Chains A and B, each alone.
Chain A
Amino acid sequence: MSDVALRMEHIYKKFRKGEVYNSLRDLIPAVTGKMFRSQELDTGDRREFWALQDISFEVKRGEALGIIGRNGAGKSTALKILSRIMRPTKGCMVVNGRLSALIEVTAGFHPDLTGMENIFLHGTILGMTKREIQSKLDQIIAFSGIEEFIDTPVKRYSSGMYARLGFSVAAHIDPEVLVVDEVLSVGDFVFQQRCLDRIRSIIQGGTSVLFVSHNLKSVTEICQRTMMLEHGKVVAIDNSDVVIRKYLSAAPTLNTPGESKAVYITKVSVRDRNGEQSTFESGQRAWVDVEVTAREAVDKLAVVIWFTDEMQYTIFHTSTERLGFAPFSLQPGGSYRCTFELGLNMAHGTFHLVTEIYRYDIQKSYDRSDPVTSIFIGSTTAVGGAVNCFPRLVDSETVAPSTQSCQV
């Protein structure tokens, strides 16, 4: 057996956009109409659009490949072709062994059936035999953590329980190739961690994984290599860190200055000692340069910057005014520059830097770039969460259970 688990060679996928005849009532006049008209109006080429172009990659046995890209880059189409739901327009692919997908883990559920019945239904839909499900039943139920409700119709479940049960079934398939698409967006934090752990142990068991996510942090945690798609093409395929850096540096730049804005942000950049940068080590120092330009005369301005995490939660913010600088005023055509020095004491992950021009006394926002830049903080394995508190273990002791018995 070769050590390649999966290979795509020059895969192309074309979609047709625009008019699609989805009823006979529309189709018949259209077809008869076409027969009588000459073929001068053949605009077929213009209505086509390539969702994937020349995608080639391979995944070795036991390897995890991340796939990142913006919405519409073709990630989902690629996965649908891999899982044989769609057929590519051109190209070929090889899958060695059973492929299963963790996409929409509850798709096979029927609300009126009980949890137990749904385990069997969903399991067989995903390609397991009844005997396999039977043998893993205890594990599946234990993993989902809903033993008590296993004989309740799933329509009475909360959405979290629903997702947990779905993931539990799907995570016990033991495929040779596993495709994971954004399943981690379901469930609470604890369950997400459990899913990640499960995926990691699946990989250790020799399964190849294709991992699609917008959560760059989980991508780096799971995958050694990552592929970046843009407009249906592979733009990078390399070590995850390298690709993520490229992905972040390709982030959309500032909007063109709105005509209506009296004052607008013209430049935001993040740099380290050596120049502009998007990847940092936790605890490193960074400098943020902000430049604003006025179209009209404006008074009492301040520049505010903040960081949000992947959930858009603000984890830090500051401003020129908070740091003790007096509000500034600008004449038409005038500009203002400032530089913030920051200690990046965040833990591993992606953070977005947002900048705003703000006037505190009348609480007015003049311009905001959201998000301007994303930065990626490199991992130190010692910490998790949003902040790096630079922990150190200074004492540790094991206490044996006391041997005294209780007197009654």
Chain B
Amino acid sequence: MNAELQELYRYRELLYMITYRDIKVRYKQSVMGFFWAILMPILIVVSGIVVRYAYSMVAHTPLRTGDIASVAIKSVPWAFIVSSIRFTCFSLTGNRDLVVKIYFPKEIFPMAAVLACLFDFCVAFVALVIFLAIIKIGVSIYLLWVPVLLATMVLFCVGIGLIVSAASLFFRDVKYIVEVFLTFGIFFTPVFYDISMFGDRGKWLLLNPVAPLLDGLSKCIAHHEAPDVHWYLYSLTFSLAAFLGGFFLFKHLEPAFAESI
């Protein structure tokens, strides 16, 4: 495993080049350019606000700016998770020629897919910060949690991406299964709602490893409080396991890629 990580490090420029290619191509092909990066987050944020408005109508409570901020803060990372897993799914099969013909560590493809989506996320995040400033969400010391939570999220996406990309190379129906999970995942993840709305049963939803991360982001940005450290550690453990397990599985299967794709 160590040797493989060293090899990956040797090929870091390639990771950068493939990421650059993916970003460049995506922005070149679309007339709208950077607007793409914020289109999906905007759609999710707006639909989240609509859902939250419906909640407040039913519960006869006013819709507070904190709630809107919370929805926006959770939607943008969720869009990142969805798009990065979707792109990793095609990252190997979409680069068939390179997988079959040239040797280099192939985990670069799913990793570059996640990094390209991270670039989109950064663009959307800037838009989010502007939005939060407009609705006057202040700053606090808890913002220091944000990079930690985001890094864990990237680790999670890379781990899942490694597994999904290799699996979809061997089984062509994996992409449909992944798509179904990504579509319905939003209902099992606290994006439009808060964990607290479920009372004691909320902890079952936190078993979803993405949930503590999104909940944590919402807590430390919108509500100026620390995330639940225990649940964060649960997510971190899960993400690390996904990354290490995914990497190991990927490397184990890699020699068979060329003949199976």
Contacts and interface: CB of A to CB of B under 8 A. Distances in A.
Most chain A Cβ neighbours within 10 Å, of B13, B97, B255: B13
A103 B101 CA distance: 7
A239 interface: no
B171 A27 contact: yes
B259 A113 contact: no
B87 to A, nearest CB: 15
Interface in B69-117: 97-98, 100-104
A248 interface: no
Most chain B Cβ neighbours within 10 Å, of A24, A83, A125, A126: A125
B42 interface: no
A85 B103 contact: yes
Nearest to B167: A24
Interface residues of A, number: 31
B255 to A, nearest CB: 4
B59 interface: no
Interface in B157-191: 170-174, 177
B25 A108 contact: no
Interface string A149-160: 000000000000
B29 interface: yes
A108 B102 CA distance: 9
A124 B17 contact: yes
B28 interface: yes
19 contacts: A15-B259, A22-B260, A23-B171, A23-B172, A84-B103, A85-B103, A86-B255, A86-B258, A101-B101, A101-B102, A103-B101, A107-B97, A110-B21, A112-B29, A113-B24, A117-B24, A121-B18, A124-B14, A129-B13
Contacts of A129: 13
A22 B171 contact: yes
A120 interface: yes
B23 to A, nearest CB: 11
A327 interface: no
A125 B24 contact: no
Contacts of B25: 110, 112-113
B144 to A, nearest CB: 34
Contact of B14 (A15, A24, A112, A125): A125
A112 B20 CA distance: 12
Interface string A84-116: 111100000000000001011001101011000
Q: Return the 9 tightest CB-CB contacts between A and B, nearest first.
A: A87-B255, A107-B97, A23-B173, A124-B17, A84-B103, A107-B101, A124-B14, A85-B258, A24-B171
A121 B17 contact: yes
A130 interface: yes
A83 B104 CA distance: 10
A25 interface: yes
Interface of B: 13-14, 17-18, 20-21, 24-25, 28-29, 97-98, 100-104, 170-174, 177, 255-256, 258-260
Say what secondary structure dominates the interface of chain B.
helix
A80 interface: yes
A129 B17 CA distance: 11
B171 A107 contact: no
Contacts of A125: 14, 17, 98, 102, 104
A104 B102 CA distance: 9
Nearest to B261: A22
Contact of B13 (A104, A110, A112, A124): A124
Contacts of B20: 121
A275 B85 CA distance: 70
A84 B7 CA distance: 14
Contacts of A24: 171, 173-174, 177
A205 interface: no
Given A25-B173, A117-B24, A86 B98 contact: no
Interface in A17-37: 20-25, 27
Given A101-B101, A113-B25, 14 more contacts: A22-B172, A22-B260, A23-B171, A23-B173, A83-B102, A101-B102, A103-B102, A104-B101, A108-B102, A110-B25, A113-B21, A117-B21, A125-B17, A130-B13
Contacts of A20: 260
A127 interface: yes
Nearest to B17: A124
A110 B104 CA distance: 17
Interface string A52-86: 00000000000000000000000000001001111
Contact of A86 (B13, B173, B259): B259
Contacts of B101: 85, 101, 103-104, 107
Contacts of B104: 125, 127
A108 B173 contact: no
Nearest to B24: A113
A74 B173 CA distance: 32
Contacts of B18: 121
Nearest to B258: A85
Contacts of B13: 124, 129-130
B261 to A, nearest CB: 10
B98 A108 contact: yes
A341 to B, nearest CB: 49
Nearest to B170: A22
A104 B14 CA distance: 19
Given A22-B172, A23-B171, A112-B28, A85 B21 contact: no
